[in-house]
Amino acid sequence: MKVLAVSLLRLGDILMLSPVLKGIKSQHKNVELHVLINSQFSFVKTLMPWVDKFILFDRKQMQKGMGEVDRQLFEPLDRLSTTIDYLNNEKYTKVFNLTHTRLSGILCGLINAEEKLGLAFNDNHTASFGSRWYSYLNEQVGGGSDFTAHMTDVHYYGAEIPYNSHEFDFVLDKKGEDEAVALIGDLKNIICVQAFTSDNKKNWGLDRIAKSLKLFQYMNPKYSIFALGAPNESHKVSELIKVCDKEGVSVKPAICSLQGALGILRVSELLLTGDTSIKHLACGTDCKIIEIAIGSSDYRKTGVYRKNNFIVTSTAGCAPCMHSQSCIKNSHICGDRIEPEAIGLLMHQVLNGSNKEIRILAQEYADSLRIHKTYFNHSGFWYARDLAKGFDTKELEKVLNLSSWKLLNRGEHLKLIGEYGSESIKLNATIQQVYPELKSLVKQRFITDLESRITQEGESLLNLKLELQKLAKKKIVNSEEIKRNYKLLESELSPKLASELVVFTEKFNGQTQEHFGQIRKYSEAMQSAYDRNQIQLKLVRTMMSQRMENL
């Protein structure tokens, strides 16, 4: 079977989704896996030699062809047609769109295949998703919902591969090994820093990094510190080293290829990084990772995808901000809030301390930053726990929400006997796994609180569902009722859909046929919200009875 995975975002995204690619490859015997990537990242080939073929999408040349006056527009058009013909000649059985952009959606629509998973635009330019997880990605995650699954998880479920291995199978070649040896020799006790990200907003700042490293080096003099950088970042790395020198910290440069970086990370004990591709590369090693997720980086979607690592975020209300736009604040508040002292101490504790000590550190600095620990929880999702915060209904809601999406997308609610019992066992196990320090009775109280809230919300959702049914019957809807429940709609649909719905119901003139598409969209979203509420209610009640049995 020949399958194609389309990954047309940036380097970090290709690396982050590597476990999904591996899952696709391992799912069936005799799978020939081809991956379509942007041509500027062709060097990832050596990291994933188990991919049968990387096909390069010449985005740069096409974009160049359209941005220069002396070049014909037919040139990029011709280049594009050639690429699509090439892909169609491969005769794929299955296409996975791991990109979720309009561009990739149109492209996947033009590729002939028996099955397509992920966004693809059909002949009449309507979107198809192939899996409900990709509709979830489009509507819930894209709509700005607070409850969001990690992107890798969405693709795991969307691509219908078993959620049991989270393996980053990056292969280190001889060249990379030699490069690493040339840079670090046979040194032991190494830690690495990747100070530069693709976006200024995500950079924490050289002074702050230097100060944290100073504290770390003072407490851990036996460690050698290396500053990682790509060849085009060498001047930036020199700058970092100068700043560190001023602070009296000894940092050595490690300008290398991605393969070289993999070689170095394999023998390193800790990586301090921003939201970078190096972070995802380190997931393929045993090196511990501390990620500083500031600016537009949203750790809930793209955080370090490996268990028992740490993500530091700021308490600034504006983070995470929009991608590809400059910071709108007078100063870089999210970066400013993260104190270098806290990072230096965290680095020390991650290497030497226990979970308890890291939790105390998180509580101590809770006013300015959050320290999250990563898990793969028992209910089958990546999860980052804020270590300063105890267990509460909000946290319980997070795990319950994702489980309800999983059961809804599997159509469990339509079965005569759904798998609520086993899912509830997993949920109870998740709470125990992530919050082992909490007493059982306290957990029980939160579960009881949540049960009563879900019941109330269920009644409101049912009323709203009935109200929306009026739209199809050409009746005017009570828009005040919709507005009154705006907060609920925002959390159960998505902020984007909730605001659309309010505007629509206010202006609705009884012309059902004219707005058929929109009415259908809102009705389906409301039905899905109500179904999920009912699933959550069953889950939480089953959890309660399971806990009672255990008392």
Partner 1 sequence: MSDKKETNNLKESLFRLEKAAQKIVSTRGYTKEVENIKMLNELIREQLINENISYSTRKIR
Ramachandran area for residue 80 (φ above 0: left; ψ -120 to 50: alpha; else beta): alpha
Decide whether 57 or 168 has the Cβ nearer to partner 1: 57
Ramachandran area for residue 134 (φ above 0: left; ψ -120 to 50: alpha; else beta): alpha
Residue 151 interacts with partner 1 (CB under 8 A): yes or no: yes
The H-assigned helical ranges of 90-148 are 102-110, 132-136
User: Pick from 3, 107, 262, 526: which binds partner 1 (CB under 8 A)?
Assistant: 107
Quick one: which segment of 73-81, 172-180, 360-368, 372-380 binds partner 1 (CB under 8 A)? 73-81
The H-assigned helical ranges of 284-392 are 299-302, 333-337, 340-352, 355-364
Question: What is the number of other CB atoms lying within 10 angstroms of the CB of residue 285?
Answer: 21
Residue 108 interacts with partner 1 (CB under 8 A): yes or no: no
Decide whether 66 or 429 has the Cβ nearer to partner 1: 66
Euclidean distance between CA atoms 16 and 39, whole angstroms: 18
Could you say which residues in the range 228-287 bind partner 1, by CB under 8 A? none
Give the number of residues written for the chain: 551
Q: Which residues contact 250 (CB under 8 A, 6 or more apart)?
A: 217, 224, 225, 244
Quick one: which segment of 60-68, 215-223, 408-416, 535-543 binds partner 1 (CB under 8 A)? 60-68
**Shortest Cβ 70–partner 1 spacing (Å):** 10
Give me the 325-344 binding string for partner 1, x by CB under 8 A, dash otherwise. Answer: x-------------------
User: Pick from 1, 66, 187, 442: which binds partner 1 (CB under 8 A)?
Assistant: 66
Residue 67 interacts with partner 1 (CB under 8 A): yes or no: yes
User: Pick from 102, 307, 474, 484: which binds partner 1 (CB under 8 A)?
Assistant: 102
Residue 126 interacts with partner 1 (CB under 8 A): yes or no: no
Residue 525 interacts with partner 1 (CB under 8 A): yes or no: no
User: Pick from 6, 35, 36, 141: which binds partner 1 (CB under 8 A)?
Assistant: 141
Residue 72 interacts with partner 1 (CB under 8 A): yes or no: no
The H-assigned helical ranges of 132-202 are 132-136, 151-158, 174-184
Quick one: which segment of 66-74, 364-372, 446-454, 477-485 binds partner 1 (CB under 8 A)? 66-74
Decide whether 84 or 366 has the Cβ nearer to partner 1: 84
Task: Report the alpha-carbon angle 391-338-243, nearest 5.
Answer: 150
Residue 68 interacts with partner 1 (CB under 8 A): yes or no: yes
- In the DSSP assignment, the letter for residue 485 is T
Task: Report the alpha-carbon angle 256-258-260, nearest 5.
Answer: 50
The helix-helix angle for 234-246 and 206-219 (nearest 10°) equals 60
Residue 119 interacts with partner 1 (CB under 8 A): yes or no: yes
Ramachandran area for residue 295 (φ above 0: left; ψ -120 to 50: alpha; else beta): left
Residue 6 interacts with partner 1 (CB under 8 A): yes or no: no
Give me the 283-322 binding string for partner 1, x by CB under 8 A, dash otherwise. Answer: ------------------xx-------------------x
For residue 290, list its beta bridge partners: 272, 310
How big is the site for partner 1, counted in residues (CB under 8 A)?
Answer: 43
**Shortest Cβ 299–partner 1 spacing (Å):** 13
Residue 414 interacts with partner 1 (CB under 8 A): yes or no: no
Helix (H) or strand (E) holding 246: helix 234-246
Which tokens is 20 given?
């999904």
In contact, 35 and 50? CB cutoff 8 Å? no
The single-letter code of the amino acid at 54 is F
Quick one: which segment of 77-85, 210-218, 449-457, 520-528 binds partner 1 (CB under 8 A)? 77-85
Euclidean distance between CA atoms 427 and 510, whole angstroms: 44
User: Pick from 103, 429, 442, 472: which binds partner 1 (CB under 8 A)?
Assistant: 103
Could you say which residues in the range 474-513 bind partner 1, by CB under 8 A? 496
Q: Give the CA count within 13 Å in the CB-facing half-sphere of 290.
A: 27
Residues that bind partner 1 (CB under 8 A): 9, 13, 59, 62-63, 66-69, 73, 76-77, 80-81, 84, 100-103, 105-107, 109-110, 119, 121, 123-125, 127, 137-138, 141-143, 151, 301-302, 322-325, 496
